[in-house]
Chains A and B, each alone.
Chain A
Amino acid sequence: MPGTEITRELYWNVVGTGFPVARVLSYVLAFVAVVLFIRGLFRKGGLLEHIKMMKLASGPDVPRVDNTGERLKFAITEVFTHRKILREPYQGVAHLFIFWGFIALFFGTFMDFFQGDVIEPLFHTNILQGGFYLGYSLITDLGGILVLIGVIMFLLRRYVNMPKWLDDKPEDKIILWLILVIAITGFLLEALRMQATELQPGNPMNQYVWYSFGGRLFALLFSGLSIKTLKSTHLFMWWFHLFIVLGFIIYVAYSKLLHIFTLPANIFMHNATDNPALLKAMPPEMFETAETFGIHQLEEYSWKDLFDTEVCIRCGRCVAVCPAFMTDKPLLPRDVIQNLRDHLEAKVRLAVDASGKVSLIPEEDYKGPALIGDVIDKDTIWACTTCMACIEACPAHISQFPKLIDLRRYLSMMESDFPAEIQDVFKGMENNSNPWNIGSHSRADWAKDLDVPLLSKKGEAEYLFYVGCAGALDDLNKKVAVALAKIFNAAGLDYAILGTEEGCCGDSARKIGNEYLYQMLATTNIEVFNGYKVKKIITMCPHGYNTLKHDYKELGGDYEVYHYTEILADLIKNGKLPLKNPVEGLGTMAYHDSCYLGRYNKIYDQPRNILNAMNSGTLVEMKNHHEKSLCCGAGGGRMWMEETLGTRINQKRTEEAMDAGIKTVCTACPFCYTMLSDGIKELGKSEEMQAFDIAQLVAKAAGLA
């Protein structure tokens, strides 16, 4: 075994011969730190007290700890690869460095303990020697350097290049300075030791000093100092470093550093259903029995909703991507979560007795701020477009916007308190099963001059073409429905429509919070679908797609649902739909991702594949695309509401298209098509720009229009 001399003396300069006072003292101090850390968790206003409140939360939830193996695999992958954190490269890399750096340092410290206090006393041998020692040295030094780089990157971001959406509380900077001091004192400590030992002439370690490259570099500071000075400085630095590290451990329980534990736990408990933006289930029988609907008190949330608030470290990624925030509306998803957290803390304070027992405060006895109005403003509640950018962006797997839908449910169903223009929308859905309140008898008029089979006449078909309200009734989007019918006919697809038997899918009603109306609309559709034994459905609208595919399952409607872009991409690929005529005049074009196709259902490629197959125009991307695509502003029922606060989201998106030099904006959603067509008109760009639904372009390319 080569190189028993390749090692270092543990507790060098700190523990001499005789009774190891410093050694024992450092363990006593570490023990005290751990006790203080645990006390921090159990303190008044600490995590454990909050968890007592969470246990009282009554809201329903999906299973969170089932399929443990799968969940564990998922959590470990997420945590160790930083998959979501790395979506923001700068912050992602900085965090990755600190994360892996600390793991290396933890390994180093653990090995010190293991060798010094387990192996040596029990086996009187040294495993920290030779090649293993050099590897250990290299890894710990690398870890320290990574931490140092990462924390400096974060400090630069906070002090030099602070984004306007980033929250800035004292703890944010305290944590960074603590980490910086830990890393630097660690290196100084190593450098002082090396300068006094390994770097002295004739030391057998001379040739290996660069395995501790961090310490070697820091040692340049101390060249020329006397051994005595080095030793006394080292001793001071040793205790200083120890105190800072132990302080850091205690601080974990008192700060957002607790995310080291809570965040992996939250990832483990992630939403594992196939419904990406899960809303609370309201079983139909609940409408007959429950006395209150939606949420107007904190405890009506689910325990997981409340745990979410504990996990948030205010990174602000949800804010940066929120279309409402970008257009100066009073909605910052992070603040929704943080306000809920503060409210939780305040309510716990009122609800806890001297013995530490937390009990529910009866509604009539509670005099504090109201959840709706005080904690979360109504304008905030109504500003959300349910675009899911917040959920998609959140590395902590927090579910942000569905918490607002719970509040909308209360406002809509209990108080009839919604933007005034919504009343006509609800009435239209109730009386004519569409938000425009156009006579339901005219739902098939768009197909009058076409050869579109009705399911009632045809009896059965492979696919039900569920047109949706916009395709059936809105003048702009009827053109898309017509294009699709022509394409289906030309490709020989076995399909049929429901005509006047079709009803509104209910998505807008649901996202506005009127679950009762949504379920009326949904169950009516499901009865019709099931009556015809429908198995496969093609939808024109991504909102119908998502609703029929995911939400109808809760109400007994289980179908194979396709968006038309999936069908067209397949028809083109299989040669059933030859696109022989390149479409003239498209110029530079971009596909605008629909939230309900992209983020909700991961359909990113099919629309782009279709556009590429047309051999027309030049397809590029706008600034925000795929997972980060910017909403058109119409989701979540916002299509039917006035946009009086801030600037208009559709114009913001149109400006992004302008900035990218886009001539043709391609959509695959009737809401997006409407909003972006309007955006182009509103900004006076009708000469330079145009919007088309992909189906219209395909019909042209196939020589059908």
Chain B
Amino acid sequence: MNAVVCVKQVPDTETLIKLNAEGTEIATEGVKWILNPYDEYAVEEAVQQKEKAGDGSVTLVTLGPDRALEALRSGLAVGADTAVHINDAAFAEKTDPYATAVALAAAVKELEYDMIFCGKQAMEDDAGQVASILGELLELPVVTVVVKLEVSDDKKTAIVTREIEGGHAVIEVPLPAVFTAQKGLNNPRYASLPGIMKAKKKPVTVKTVADLGVSAEPMTVVKSMSLPPDRQAGKMIEGDDAAAKAIALAKALHEEAKII
């Protein structure tokens, strides 16, 4: 059972996000980068499916600058076998989900796979497009927001549970197929120390746009980004007793918040 997992390095969820001078991108200075949390579920699922099948290998594919290697290493540390790093200055200038998917598809085509996993979306841009475009380019079925996956004994199909509003849907899909991982699919393991040490020695192939023979032309352009307004500090309602506080609260809701 061979699997490919497309992963992305994103800013840590707790990191302080600032924008660049033009307001079109996240300023990268001082940012702590991590493997996209949804991709952790994707990697874990691929590794578990490999372990269950007892054979095969898991290959990670990412697109990103030099620092994205760290994200690959953290995936390799929890059980992925090899990795492909698409690293090209052309993407550093501008990219979008389409251009990313085109590059990923070109890299994935060179690999052997029965399943392709992605996180359901990247934590930072929340676009959630790459997996679907990738499926389209590879002419594979796509099942999104997966919370459970079982491969049939003959390994020809998979029974997949996906989250839908207020419930679950169970879907049968022929393999190979593209799956996007949702929280709850599994409990991603914590990398063991031997895992971390072995990951340093696992092979990572670097590819450029030229190597893949694709164009890096995006179809969309980000015009601007903005940060949410600073949250207002909470206000303590003062008063001598409960009744006085209630009056002050009602007054504040009416005059300041204008809710009542």
Contact = CB atoms under 8 A, between A and B. Distances in A.
B32 A426 contact: no
Contacts of B32: 431-432, 440
A391 to B, nearest CB: 27
A418 B16 CA distance: 30
Interface in B20-40: 30, 32, 34
A413 B187 CA distance: 18
Given A439-B15, A439-B16, A441-B15, A431 B193 contact: no
B81 interface: no
A692 to B, nearest CB: 21
Nearest to B33: A431
Interface string A420-435: 1001001100011000
Given A431-B32, A431-B34, A441 B193 contact: no
A116 B36 CA distance: 89
A416 B190 contact: yes
Contacts of B191: 416
Given A287-B197, A288-B197, A441-B30, A431 B190 contact: no
A293 interface: yes
A416 B193 CA distance: 8
Nearest to A437: B14
Contacts of A437: 14
B152 to A, nearest CB: 30
A114 to B, nearest CB: 63
A353 interface: no
A438 interface: yes
Contacts of A687: none
Interface in B161-203: 187, 189-194, 196-197
B194 A414 contact: yes
A415 B191 CA distance: 9
A274 interface: no
A293 B190 contact: no
Contacts of B14: 431-432, 437-440
Given A413-B193, A516-B193, A441 B16 contact: yes
Contact of A432 (B12, B189, B196, B197): B12
Nearest to A441: B16
Q: Which of A288, A292, A415, A441 has the most CB of B within 10 A?
A: A441
Nearest to B188: A423
Given A416-B189, A440-B32, A441-B30, A431 B194 contact: no
A437 B15 CA distance: 10
Given A287-B197, A441-B30, A416 B16 contact: no
Interface in B67-95: none
B75 to A, nearest CB: 15
A123 to B, nearest CB: 72
A292 B195 CA distance: 11
Contacts of A415: 192
B193 A287 contact: yes
Nearest to B34: A431
A514 to B, nearest CB: 9
Contacts of A285: none
Interface in B182-233: 187, 189-194, 196-197
B142 to A, nearest CB: 30
A546 B73 CA distance: 33
Contacts of B30: 441
Interface string A624-667: 00000000000000000000000000000000000000000000
Contacts of A287: 193, 197
15 contacts: A413-B192, A413-B193, A414-B193, A414-B194, A415-B192, A416-B190, A420-B187, A427-B190, A432-B12, A432-B14, A432-B32, A438-B14, A439-B12, A516-B193, A516-B196
